[in-house]
């Protein structure tokens, strides 16, 4: 699927200069809450929860925080605010489509914060459905390997993968249906591959190329502002830009 790793590459480059550790803790904790709420509070029986806990531990989130998040999601933590999953959509500079996944206890506050972020950075918050048709949700396994690429292809096909793409030396992203992500991840592990991430991701069907430095700066500032909002869990956009422009634009 064309362009499926473009946003992942952009996110990796942005992460180099992203020092918002507290925000990361909030996002990962809320991801655990959602996973526990959507399934069993037992990570051995809940792939989404197990994956969220693994990411939290990799980010050095204390076990007490993880257990508290599981309790909030399962409804056993008294006094916990009720959180709601909402997806917002909008446009950035140069007509770039943007999807925002939020987790909030006050949708009016969240919508107001998002609208302000868009308007101050050359974009606009749109209606539900205005850009989501440009994206497909897929399961994505990021894999590191030191064997022949043909072996990765064989293992991916056995695990029910739809496609894969090399993103750097000895690292690939393997795509599958959302419902098949756990099976693919386990198959790759059983075949000896190191699965460094397994996640659901919105994949753009086409990408807008950003070549103007001012538009690039405005777009990345908008995305940084959106990601900095407490209620925002994830931001995805359908653009690509040269690494040189990315380096100049990220502040």
Cα separation of 184 and 193, whole Å? 11
Q: Which residue range is the domain that position 217 belongs to?
A: 84-133+206-242
**Structural domains of the chain, count:** 3
- On whether both 107 and 219 belong to a single domain, the answer is yes
Q: Does 198 fall in a domain? A: yes
Q: What is the CATH number of the domain that holds 92?
A: 3.30.70.980
Average pLDDT for the chain: 85
Q: What is the pLDDT of residue 19?
A: 44
Predicted confidence band of residue 225 (pLDDT cuts 50, 70, 90): very high
With a CB cutoff of 8 Å and minimum separation 6, the contacts of 46 are 35, 36, 39, 40
Same domain, 99 and 159: no
Q: Give tens-digit pLDDT for 61-71.
A: 899 989 988 88
Let me know whether 176 and 118 are in one domain.
Answer: no
Domain for residue 215, yes or no?
Answer: yes
Kind plus residue range of the DSSP H or E element containing 91? strand 84-91
Based on the fold, state whether residues 118 and 220 are members of the same structural domain: yes
Q: Are 40 and 161 members of one domain?
A: no
Q: Reduce the DSSP state of residue 24 to 3 states and report it.
A: helix
Whether residues 50 and 160 fall in one domain: no
Separation between Cα atoms, residue 139 and residue 162, nearest integer Å: 10
């Amino acid at each position: 699927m064309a362009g499926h790793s473009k946003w992942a590459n952009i996110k990796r480059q942005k992460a180099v200069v992203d020092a918002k550790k507290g925000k990361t803790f909030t996002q990962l904790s809320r991801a655990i809450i959602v996973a526990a709420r959507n399934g069993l509070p037992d990570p051995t029986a809940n792939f989404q929860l197990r994956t969220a806990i693994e990411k939290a531990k990799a980010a050095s989130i204390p076990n007490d925080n993880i257990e508290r998040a599981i309790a909030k999601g399962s409804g056993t933590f008294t006094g916990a605010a009720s959180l709601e999953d909402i997806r917002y959509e909008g446009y950035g500079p140069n007509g770039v489509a943007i999807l925002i996944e939020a987790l909030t206890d006050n949708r009016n506050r969240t919508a107001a914060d998002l609208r302000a972020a868009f308007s101050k950075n050359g974009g606009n918050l749109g209606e539900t459905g205005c850009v989501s048709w440009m994206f497909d949700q897929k399961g994505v396994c990021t894999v590191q390997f030191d064997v022949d690429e043909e072996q990765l292809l064989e293992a991916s096909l056995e695990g029910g993968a739809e496609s894969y793409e090399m993103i750097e030396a000895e690292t690939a992203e393997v795509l599958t249906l959302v419902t098949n992500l756990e099976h693919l991840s386990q198959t790759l592990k059983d075949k000896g591959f190191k699965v460094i991430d397994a996640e659901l991701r919105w994949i753009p069907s086409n990408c807008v190329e950003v070549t103007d430095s001012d538009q690039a700066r405005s777009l990345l500032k908008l995305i940084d502002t959106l990601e900095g909002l407490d209620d925002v869990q994830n931001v995805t956009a359908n653009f690509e830009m040269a690494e040189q422009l990315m380096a100049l634009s990220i502040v």
